[in-house]
């Protein structure tokens, strides 16, 4: 059948608008009475964190295109200027809803639970004295007020830092009267300060740093009159640019670029809603921004800083119940990790099941004299990762340790540079993959000398080697000693560390070589089966769906009668349920306690039920500009586990699953059936609740 037909622009959703729609679904968690109160506060903060990155990367990219006069369009046909206008309107609406939820719902509810944020106007004399002492002793010594005059130009303002614009009248000791000053709050200062219980009058009383500075900023300008003090925060373009064709040493080039990230072009200005029009116009002029880039907010300008509050409050009744991650049955008792993997493949489902077997594999590998070599990819792992400690120990013991570190992992570049330096110090081989292609594949290979020769032990995953995020992200990990899988993984490592042509792999689908073509072939195989009157089914779970050829193939599959279920957490450019286009496609997004992160691809395949797990979403960057892998689940019992745990619960979810319609709108459909939550079911089946002693 022909696959060259291109669908019209209106058959594709815009990426940026879809991202904002995703953040509306996250904000809905903060508004949900069924979610514990402190967790609702966290979700509110997550929206702010997401929007920061949205402006730093996506909006910054749009503004760059507009500045260059670009009229390039994506599959949706929208030009950058059109996208920017619509994004600006929707972002303003979303942020207004976010602050209304915070001020009118969440903060009053927290106050009702004895968790209060004390307003300046309500401080009593005793509280004010304590807060002033805190300002004098802890805050004022680290502040540097900058008066604006010809010898003190407007200071460089760090990306996302807290600052105050102060309007003044009068003259100083030198007779200067510029009328304005800037006070920058050092990042070392806490943004939320807890008062002693006996002073606050509640169990947990907090004061914002911004409130303290507003109240006492006059003490920084002796003899002058403060007319106004307004907090502000600027968001800057944080995408790093490294010229792939010119760069000689990626590590050195990146080290040169990183310091500039804090001072990229401004893309958004957030100010207090009481800021004077004169000061707002002045700040916009300083940052080269338009009125559409100005966000007046009724509260603190950085809600992300509220993320620390739940950790300062001992109220488990206002948080998700803790749980103990389980283990696969084969690992439930004392075990030898190598013997267990030799016996049969082991599938782990995080965070419901523990990540500890992966740590155990590296630990035993670092200590086992029979282990000769360890190879691993690192995308995000954290600066204090226990996995890195085991790799360091293995290298110190003389084992051949090779680590492929992705230096261009956004916002983890500095951590990865630090990891690379530490590994090199102990003699590990550190490589940075292939310039121009991010290494996003999650692979670990241990080479062990055994009775009948060398054997490879492999871990493949859908998520990062980051022990902290494995407690919050849903991911699958596979441990295997399958020799053909081992050959494939070894071949991919050869490509990453050496030179040579790509060889055909037996089981793995690899980007940028075979992943896209194999996914298309699998989709088209279901299309051909449906046209022949045979059963056909596709179920795919991922973070993002954007790639036009894949979407086109799915539309054609739908037209042929294939039942297509897509579980897409975030951005989705496909329009489901459109008559004559996608009647047989359903798209849902599950937002809950854990971040849905695994990528699972199921094809009926004439009854063979082929299942692939992957590090890659269905996006152009994953198919063509990254090194990714998709690996099959070969053992029948494990296939059934993936179906039972990774797909069916999400298709049955009626409490946290948002259904998407053809206009890109998401709704949780009301139901009279009993409440089904995929994440709750998996916690009950795979984890163990921790019951409080009380």
Q: What is the pLDDT of residue 258?
A: 46
Residue 462 has pLDDT above 50, yes or no: yes
Cβ proximity of 221 and 166 under 8 Å? yes
Helices (H) and strands (E) in the chain, counts: 22, 29
Q: What is the pLDDT of residue 676?
A: 92
Residue 372: both structure tokens together? 């000769």
User: For residue 64, with 0-12 CB atoms within 10 Å meaning exposed, 13-18 middle and 19 or more buried, which class applies?
Assistant: middle
Cβ proximity of 22 and 569 under 8 Å? yes
Would you call 678 helix, strand, or coil by DSSP? helix
Longest pairwise C-alpha distance within the chain: 90
Q: What is the pLDDT of residue 692?
A: 35
Residue 461 has pLDDT above 90, yes or no: yes
Residue 687 CB: number of other CB atoms within 10 A?
A: 18
Cβ proximity of 618 and 544 under 8 Å? yes
Q: What is the mean pLDDT of residues 639-658?
A: 97
Residue 506 has pLDDT above 60, yes or no: yes
Pairwise pLDDT comparison (259 vs 613), residue with the higher score: 613
Residue 277 has pLDDT above 90, yes or no: yes
**Distance, CA of 459 to CA of 481 (rounded, Å):** 9
Over residues 228-257, the pLDDT tens digits come to 999 999 999 987 444 444 444 544 544 444
Residue 43 has pLDDT above 90, yes or no: yes
- For 630, list phi and psi in degrees, rounded to 5: -125, 130
Q: What is the pLDDT of residue 380?
A: 73
Q: What is the pLDDT of residue 246?
A: 42
- What are the residue ranges of helices labelled H in 601-656? 620-624, 636-641, 648-652
Which one is catalytic: 440, 459, 516, 598?
A: 440
**Distance, CA of 362 to CA of 392 (rounded, Å):** 11
Taking the CA atoms of 12, 15, 21 and 25 in sequence, report the sign of the dihedral they define: positive
Best mean pLDDT range from 183-197, 320-334, 398-412, 544-558: 544-558
Residue 76 has pLDDT above 60, yes or no: yes
Q: What is the pLDDT of residue 328?
A: 87
88-92, 170-174, 408-412 — which is least confidently predicted? 408-412
Residue 259 has pLDDT above 90, yes or no: no
Over residues 101-133, the pLDDT tens digits come to 999 999 999 999 999 999 999 999 999 999 999
What secondary structure letter does DSSP report for 143? Answer: -
Over residues 466-481, the pLDDT tens digits come to 888 899 999 999 999 9
Pairwise pLDDT comparison (222 vs 203), residue with the higher score: 203
Q: Which of 537, 519, 575 is nearest to 651 (CA)?
A: 537
Ordered domains of the chain (ranges, CATH)? 11-318 (3.30.1840.10), 324-502 (3.30.870.10), 510-689 (3.30.870.10)
Over residues 594-629, the pLDDT tens digits come to 999 999 999 999 999 999 999 999 999 999 999 999
**Distance, CA of 648 to CA of 539 (rounded, Å):** 10
- Mention every residue, 6+ apart, whose C-beta is less than 8 A from residue 59: 16, 84, 87, 91, 267, 268
Cβ proximity of 229 and 200 under 8 Å? no
Residue 386 has pLDDT above 90, yes or no: no
Q: What is the pLDDT of residue 674?
A: 86
Please identify which residue in the block is written with the tokens 């089904």.
676
Concatenating the DSSP letter of every residue in 35-76 gives S-HHHHHHHHHHHHHHHHHIIIIIIHHHHHHHHTT-----TT
Q: Which of 505, 166, 109, 575 is nearest to 315 (CA)?
A: 109
Would you call 367 helix, strand, or coil by DSSP? helix
Residue 151 has pLDDT above 60, yes or no: no
For the chain, the average pLDDT equals 90
**Distance, CA of 182 to CA of 179 (rounded, Å):** 11
Residue 156 has pLDDT above 90, yes or no: no
Over residues 295-322, the pLDDT tens digits come to 999 999 999 999 999 999 999 999 999 9
Q: What is the pLDDT of residue 585?
A: 98
- Of the pLDDT bands very low, low, confident and very high (cuts 50, 70, 90), residue 693 is very low
**Distance, CA of 213 to CA of 144 (rounded, Å):** 12
Q: Which of 304, 357, 569 is nearest to 465 (CA)?
A: 357
- Mention every residue, 6+ apart, whose C-beta is less than 8 A from residue 218: 224, 225, 226
Cis peptide bond upstream of 527, omega within 30: no
Cβ proximity of 678 and 652 under 8 Å? yes
Distances (CA, A) of 95 to 60, 105, 233, 443: 18, 15, 15, 39
Cis peptide bond upstream of 492, omega within 30: no
**Distance, CA of 445 to CA of 486 (rounded, Å):** 8
Instruction: Please say if 440 is a catalytic residue.
Output: yes
Concatenating the DSSP letter of every residue in 216-270 gives HGGGGSTT-EEEEEEEEEEEE-------TTT-S-HHHHHHHHGGGGGGS-EEEEE
Q: What is the pLDDT of residue 653?
A: 96
Q: What's the pTM value of the predicted model, to 2 decimals?
A: 0.91
**Distance, CA of 33 to CA of 105 (rounded, Å):** 10
Residue 177 has pLDDT above 90, yes or no: no
Q: What is the pLDDT of residue 384?
A: 65
């Amino acid at each position: 059948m022909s696959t060259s037909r291109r669908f019209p622009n209106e058959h594709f959703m815009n990426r940026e608008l879809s991202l904002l729609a995703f953040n509306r679904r996250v904000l809905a968690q903060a508004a949900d009475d069924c979610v514990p109160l402190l967790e609702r506060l966290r979700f509110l903060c997550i929206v702010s964190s997401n929007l920061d990155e949205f402006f730093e990367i996506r909006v910054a990219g749009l503004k760059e295109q507009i500045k260059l006069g670009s009229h390039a369009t994506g599959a949706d046909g929208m030009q950058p200027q059109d996208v920017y206008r619509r994004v600006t309107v929707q972002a303003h609406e979303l942020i207004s809803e976010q602050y209304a939820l915070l001020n009118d719902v969440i903060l009053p509810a927290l106050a009702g639970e004895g968790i209060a944020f004390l307003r300046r106007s309500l401080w009593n004399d005793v509280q004010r004295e304590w807060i002033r002492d805190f300002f004098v002793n802890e805050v004022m010594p680290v502040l540097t007020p900058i008066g604006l005059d010809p010898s003190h130009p407007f200071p460089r303002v760090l990306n996302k830092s807290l600052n105050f614009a102060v309007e003044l009248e009068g003259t100083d000791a030198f007779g200067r009267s510029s009328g304005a000053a800037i006070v920058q709050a050092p990042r070392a200062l806490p943004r939320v300060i807890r008062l002693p219980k006996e002073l606050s009058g509640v169990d947990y009383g907090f004061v914002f740093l911004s409130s303290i500075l507003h109240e006492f900023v006059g003490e920084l300008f002796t003899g002058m009159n403060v007319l106004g003090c307004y907090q502000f925060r600027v968001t800057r373009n944080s995408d790093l640019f490294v010229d792939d064709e010119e760069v000689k040493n990626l590590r050195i080039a990146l080290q040169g670029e990183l310091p500039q990230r804090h001072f990229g072009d401004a893309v958004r200005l957030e100010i207090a809603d009481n800021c004077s029009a004169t000061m707002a116009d002045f700040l916009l002029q300083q940052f080269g921004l338009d009125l559409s880039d100005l966000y007046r907010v009724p509260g603190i300008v950085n809600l992300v800083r509220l993320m620390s509050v739940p950790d300062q409050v001992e109220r488990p009744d206002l948080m998700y119940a803790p749980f103990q991650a389980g283990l696969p049955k084969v690992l439930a008792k004392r075990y030898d990790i190598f013997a267990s993997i030799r016996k049969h493949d082991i599938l782990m489902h995080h965070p419901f099941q523990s990540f500890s077997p992966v740590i155990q594999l590296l630990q035993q590998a670092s200590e086992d004299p029979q282990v000769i070599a360890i190879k691993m990819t690192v995308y995000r792992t954290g600066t204090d990762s226990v996995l890195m400690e085991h790799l360091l120990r293995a290298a110190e013991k003389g084992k051949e340790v090779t680590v492929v570190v992705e230096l261009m992992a956004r916002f983890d570049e500095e951590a990865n540079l630090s990891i690379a330096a530490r590994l090199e110090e102990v003699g590990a081989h550190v490589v940075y993959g292939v310039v121009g292609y991010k290494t996003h594949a999650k692979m670990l290979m241990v080479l062990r000398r055994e009775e009948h020769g060398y054997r490879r032990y492999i871990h493949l995953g859908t998520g990062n080697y980051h022990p902290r995020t494995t407690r919050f992200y849903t991911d699958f990990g596979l441990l295997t000693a399958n020799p053909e899988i081992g050959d494939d993984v070894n071949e991919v490592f050869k490509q990453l560390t050496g030179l040579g042509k790509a060889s055909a792999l037996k089981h793995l689908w690899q980007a940028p070589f075979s992943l896209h073509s194999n996914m298309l072939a699998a989709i088209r195989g279901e299309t051909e089966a449906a046209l022949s009157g045979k059963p056909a089914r596709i179920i795919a779970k991922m973070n993002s769906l954007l790639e036009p050829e894949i979407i086109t193939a799915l539309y054609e599959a739908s037209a042929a009668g294939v039942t297509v279920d897509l579980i897409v957490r975030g951005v989705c450019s496909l329009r489901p349920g459109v008559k004559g286009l996608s009647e047989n496609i359903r798209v849902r997004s599950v937002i809950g306690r854990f971040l849905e992160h695994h990528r699972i691809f199921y094809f009926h395949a004439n009854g063979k039920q082929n299942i692939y797990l992957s590090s890659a979403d269905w996006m152009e960057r994953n198919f063509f500009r990254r090194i990714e892998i998709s690996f099959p689940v070969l053992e029948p019992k494990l296939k059934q586990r993936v179906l039972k745990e990774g797909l069916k619960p999400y298709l049955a979810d009626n409490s946290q699953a948002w259904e998407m319609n053809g206009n890109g709108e998401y709704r949780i459909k009301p139901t009279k059936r009993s409440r089904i939550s995929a994440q709750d079911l998996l916690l009950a089946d795979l984890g163990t609740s921790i019951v409080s002693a009380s």
